[in-house]
Amino acid sequence: MVTKEYIQELKRKNFEELYRLIRETQESRELFFILENLGYLPNGFKGEVFVPLIVHLNDSVRFWAVKNLGKISNPDFIGLLLRTAKYDKDSMVRREAVSSIGRMRTQQTIPYLIELLDDSDPKVVLQAIRGLLVFKTNIEAQKALRNLENHPNEMVQSVIRREFSQNHNSKNQQPHPSSPDFMKNVVVHGDVREILRHVPDESVHLTFTSPPYYNARDYAIYESYKAYLDFLMEVFSEVHRVTKEGRFLIVNTSPIIIPRMSRSHASKRYPIPFDLHARLGESGWEFIDDLVWLKPETCVKNRNAGFLQHRKPLGYKPNAVTEYLMVYRKETEKLLDWNIHQYSWKAVEESKVNGEYETSNVWKIDPAFDSVHTAVFPIALCNRVVEFYSYKGDLVFDPFGGSGTLGKAANNLGRYFFLTEQEEKYFERMKENLTTLDAVKLHQPRFLKVDEFKLLNQGENDGHNN
Ligand SMILES: C[S@@+](CC[C@H](N)C(=O)[O-])C[C@H]1O[C@@H](n2cnc3c(N)ncnc32)[C@H](O)[C@@H]1O
């Protein structure tokens, strides 16, 4: 039986014996083992030994033959690799063949890689792009790459746009970590859609919110489910405008049930997170993660009573112990590292999440109750979101502020809050909850009507224009 050590020894001392071994090994698994363990191939090693294996019946043998041919970096093999990339029956072998051509990093590969940009497998196209990007300044390569800007595959599109996009000209000249002073620790009473008209582009770092649940409470009555989703999208499109480049929106929702009208009617369940998700994806929000908020079963409405008695299939109704926190990022060609690099070393150090933290996407947190508001965030949930998705000094926004839980968390963690709420009684509740906060002296909490907020915005603009 050939061992890894023996292969390495032959590589050092006896190429001829190694060639013989590769040529004469019949058993596919053994041959695959040898090819897989060849590692780096020294100068003088002849790639011809791999050529017959390019048509071997075993997919893994062909894959490793192609990979090893790529290591040789001999342009004589480009044609053979191109044929493999185009016609091999196994997609992994085809992708590896393109990658092997790319790794040769010689100008001779350019026309071959351009030919592969027409492949029907997006991964082949992506490998060919990778190879061509080495020659990004070559006119032919650049022309072919730019032609892919409207390629049907979204990953191809995004890579090309990222490589060739002009630098993003932010509409807001403010440095990324800053936000408008007139919005810091401010709560505005009114319809969020109206208030947002007076908020400048790209001024908010993070939005975390729990929207009103469709027709479940007094403050959430809509003409139809479609009207409800349209309303939410009106809000989240504006949130998109006011969010800084590459920053996050986290929406807490769960499917909701509207009880039956009478015993002769059925209840109806609305999949809010999923319907909203489809719309957010189409309006410039990139899906990042789905976090599941898990509550103890004793804290949720019991839907099991009927089934517990009758045990008839189809009548099963599980207790809903979860809600979603859907995480989105404002679409950008820039990587998360770009966002992080906008902050000073000190700000990054001070914002680090130290100690133990939740490593999974299931967050076990008890629900919270409030004497005035019927559907409040637990502070522990807000604390986690604020810590994981913002930096100290950031501006954190809740368009559906309710009792102001997010404001408390933001303040506790050295961030500023900006909250809007349309119901008078909840606005008053926020006053109670947020005035006593140990807020930054310069930015004591302010509770404003829409007109007052509008004036502040104008004042800040005038100040900047002077
Ligand atoms: C689920 S509650 C949010 C509770 C909040 N997360 C908390 O911790 O207290 C949703 C809130 O959105 C408010 N709301 C509904 N429509 C609104 C609108 N158009 N503009 C501003 N607030 C609105 C409701 O009055 C309600 O207080």
In a domain? residue 42: yes
Same domain, 119 and 238: no
In a domain? residue 344: no
Q: How many domains does the chain have?
A: 2
Which string of DSSP letters, residue by residue, matches 308-369?
A: HHH--TT-------EEEEEEEEE--SS-HHHHHHTS-HHHHHHH---S----SSEEE-----
Q: What is the CB < 6 Å shell around ligand 1?
A: 191-192, 210, 212, 219, 373, 375-377, 400, 402-403, 405, 420-423, 426
Q: Report how far ligand 1's centroid is from the alpha carbon of 404 (Å).
A: 9
> Which atom of ligand 1 lies nearest, measured to the CA of 373?
9
Same domain, 260 and 112: no
Residue 18, domain extent: 4-164
Q: Report how far ligand 1's centroid is from the alpha carbon of 220 (Å).
A: 8
Same domain, 279 and 386: yes
The CATH number covering residue 59 comes to: 1.25.10.10
In a domain? residue 310: no
Same domain, 357 and 432: yes
Domain boundary among 164, 199, 215: 164
Tell me the C-alpha distance between 94 and 81, whole Å. 9
Single pTM value for the model: 0.84
Query: In the structure, what pLDDT confidence band is assigned to residue 466 with cuts at 50, 70 and 90?
Result: very low
> Which atom of ligand 1 lies nearest, measured to the CA of 403?
9
Q: Report how far ligand 1's centroid is from the alpha carbon of 402 (Å).
A: 5
In a domain? residue 176: no
Q: Report how far ligand 1's centroid is from the alpha carbon of 222 (Å).
A: 14
- On whether the CB atoms of residues 234 and 192 are closer than 8 A, the answer is no
Over the stretch 129-172, which tens digit does the pLDDT of each residue have?
A: 999 999 989 999 999 999 999 999 989 998 998 888 765 555 66
Closest residue to atom 10 of ligand 1, CA basis:
212
Query: In the structure, what pLDDT confidence band is assigned to residue 267 with cuts at 50, 70 and 90?
Result: confident
Q: Report how far ligand 1's centroid is from the alpha carbon of 320 (Å).
A: 22
Angle at 68 between CA 65 and CA 73, to 5 degrees: 130
In a domain? residue 112: yes
Same domain, 265 and 358: yes
Over the stretch 94-138, which tens digit does the pLDDT of each residue have?
A: 999 999 999 999 999 999 999 999 999 999 999 999 999 999 899
Percentage of the residues of the chain whose pLDDT score is greater than 70: 96
Q: Which of 236, 373, 385, 400 to mutate to test the pocket of ligand 1 (most atoms within 8 A of CB)?
A: 400
Over the stretch 29-77, which tens digit does the pLDDT of each residue have?
A: 999 999 999 999 988 899 999 999 999 999 999 999 999 999 988 999 9
Same domain, 397 and 440: yes
> Which atom of ligand 1 lies nearest, measured to the CA of 426?
27
> Which atom of ligand 1 lies nearest, measured to the CA of 192?
20
Least confident of 45-59, 170-184, 296-310: 170-184
In a domain? residue 152: yes
Same domain, 154 and 17: yes
Tell me the C-alpha distance between 22 and 11, whole Å. 12
Query: In the structure, what pLDDT confidence band is assigned to residue 464 with cuts at 50, 70 and 90?
Result: low
The CATH number covering residue 192 comes to: 3.40.50.150
Same domain, 54 and 185: no
Q: Report how far ligand 1's centroid is from the alpha carbon of 421 (Å).
A: 6
